[in-house]
Amino acid sequence: MKNAKPISDGMIASFRESYHRDEAAGVYSAALSRTEFDKVTFDPSAAAAQQNHFTIDLHTSAVTNQKKSGRCWLFASMNLFREKVAEKCGMERAELSGSYLAFWDKFEKVNFFLEGAIDTADLKPGDRTLEWLLHGVADGGQWDMMTSIVKKYGVVPIEVMPDNAQSTNTRSHWALINSKLRKDMVELRRLTAESGEDVARARKEEMLGTYFRALCILYGEPPAKFDFIYEDKDKKYHIDRGITPLEFFDKYVGLDLSDYVSVINSPTADKPFDRSYTVKYLGNTVEQGVRYLNLPMSKLEMIVVEQLRAGEPVWFGSDCHKYGNGGTGIWDPDSYTAEKMLGMDTTMPKEDRLDFCDSKMNHAMVITGVNLDENGRPDRWKIQNSWGEDSGLKGYFIGSEKWFREFVYQIVINKKFLTEEQIAAYESDPIVLEPWDPMGALAL
């Protein structure tokens, strides 16, 4: 760094003097020395404005728990599906298997990675795209990635393939599997260069058997058929014998997933509104990628309200690390005083936070309610999470309007709530974003 200026003794002396003159700094330091940061900086008087009452409040089941896994996007999806199952079967509550969807998601991601190794065989080590691919396979995903799995493999009740110690705590075994993937990438790149893609793909198919075996050991073997057994609210016994996972989804969930589209709010200069986008090398099945429609936040919010008003919850992606924690159950910039306490103003326009890596999608949940002010505008949102009932308000959270505008990036909406122009924009040829674009971050 040419002409860089180092820290001097004079600077430090000046800073010390300024700190000693600041009486509040000493009080803050004493408070923080014995209490967790989030507890000291929480402002209950500001949080009191986020009351747990809503103009629209949809009835939903008790929350689920993804535990130590990154399956939030799958849990948010299953939280939508299970309500349909319970309704159709007259059950108090239904639960679907996260292990089943995670198995097929991971197996498809392995194939996606190995195909990427063949597709990028000409890229040299150090290339940014190759470096991105070498992150390997992760737990995360997008709505479109969920639909690609469900359309291909269906879903099953949790009793048919329960969670286990590996599906709920994934970090250690995926570090090992990603090391194996990188080793196989080296071999596939060499085969592609020396013998061509056909030879490399024949070898890839052999490799897939190793991963299938490993996944069966870790998560259990996914059923090809099963008996669906349940009791309804009247304690009446039911059994549907020999049903496949695809038949189960069609019969007991019954949603046409092609009716739903992903809408994002990314006000960055590279993403004009009312256009469709996709992300290169983002997906699980090679048959289907991801696609978004970018809309201004004002339009996105009104679409969410319309779908809630029609009685249908909304899947969404956000930055859950900003202005909230699991203990309070509130996401709200005004309810946390950390910036004032430390004298650090972190206010940035949404586009700058995205462009300069200060915020990105890292969690998917379900919007189940909204409160509307006297002008019919939303001022807080009810959110169903997947962190268990010990977090938030028995597992539910409240997002203030200020937090929602700044840190919600994606919703999934039924096409019937979009205009013809918006549908046409979504269905147009998408602009291809780079693999590391923040709109794909939820999959990492």
Model confidence at 212, pLDDT cuts 50, 70, 90, reads: very high
Q: Report which of 335, 333, 329, 334 is spatially closest to residue 382, judged by C-alpha positions.
A: 329
- Cα 93 from chain centroid (whole Å): 24
pLDDT at 326 over 90: no
State the DSSP H helix or E strand holding residue 190, giving kind and residue range, or none if neither: helix 171-195
Q: Catalytic residue among 65, 111, 325, 363, which?
A: 363
Under DSSP, the state recorded for 330 is: E
Report residue 444's pLDDT band, with 50, 70 and 90 as the boundaries: confident
According to DSSP, the residues that pair with 96 across neighbouring strands are 157
CA atoms within 13 A on the CB side of 63: 24
- Residue 195 pLDDT class (50, 70, 90 cuts): very high
**pLDDT greater than 90 at residue 157:** yes
Q: What confidence category does residue 17 fall into, taking pLDDT thresholds of 50, 70 and 90?
A: very high
Span 32-57, pLDDT tens digits? 999 998 889 999 999 999 999 999 99
183-198 average pLDDT score: 98
Query: Average per-residue pLDDT in the chain?
Result: 96
Q: What percent of the chain has pLDDT over 70?
A: 100
250-282 residue pLDDT tens: 999 999 999 999 999 999 999 999 999 999 999
Q: Is 308 left (phi over 0), alpha (psi -120 to 50) or beta?
A: alpha
Catalytic-residue membership of 385:
yes
CA-closest candidate to residue 227, choices 238, 242, 215:
242
Buried b (16+ CB within 10 A) or exposed e, 60-91: beebbbbbebbbbbbbbbbbbbbbebbeebeb
**In the predicted structure, residue 221 carries a pLDDT above the cut 90:** yes
Q: Which amino acid is located at 151 in the chain?
A: K
Nearest alpha-carbon partner for 330 in 399, 401, 378, 387? 399
- The DSSP symbol for 8 reads -
What's the confidence (pLDDT) of residue 282? 96
Report the C-alpha gap between 252 and 233 in whole angstroms. Answer: 16
Burial class (CB in 10 A: 0-12, 13-18, 19+), 172: exposed
Mean pLDDT of 123-134: 96
- For residues 181-216, b (16+ Cβ closer than 10 Å) or e, as one string? beebbeebbebbeeeeeeebeebbeebeeebeebbe
Span 338-349, pLDDT tens digits: 999 999 999 999
Give the distance, in angstroms, between the CA of residue 150 and the centroid of all CA atoms in the same chain. Answer: 17
pLDDT of residue 38: 87
Band (pLDDT 50/70/90 cuts) for residue 249 is very high
Task: Please tell me the distance from the alpha carbon of residue 189 to that of residue 134, in angstroms, as a whole number.
Answer: 13
Mean pLDDT confidence for 353-375: 97
DSSP state of 327: T
- Count the Cβ atoms, other than its own, within 10 Å of residue 112: 18
Domains of the chain: 56-443 (3.90.70.10)
CA-wise closest residue to 102 among 158, 167, 177: 167
Please report the pLDDT score of residue 325 as a whole number. 78
H helix intervals, 196-254: 197-219, 245-248
Q: Percentage helix, strand, coil, to 5, in the chain? A: 45, 15, 40
Task: Mention every residue, 6+ apart, whose C-beta is less than 8 A from residue 308.
Answer: 56, 58, 314, 367, 368, 369, 370
- The single residue of 72, 265, 284, 362 carrying the catalytic annotation is 72
275: helix, strand or coil: strand
Residues 68 and 168: beta-carbon distance below 8 Å: yes
From the candidates 79, 111, 265, 385, give the one annotated as an active-site residue: 385
Cα separation, 166 vs 69, in Å, equals 9
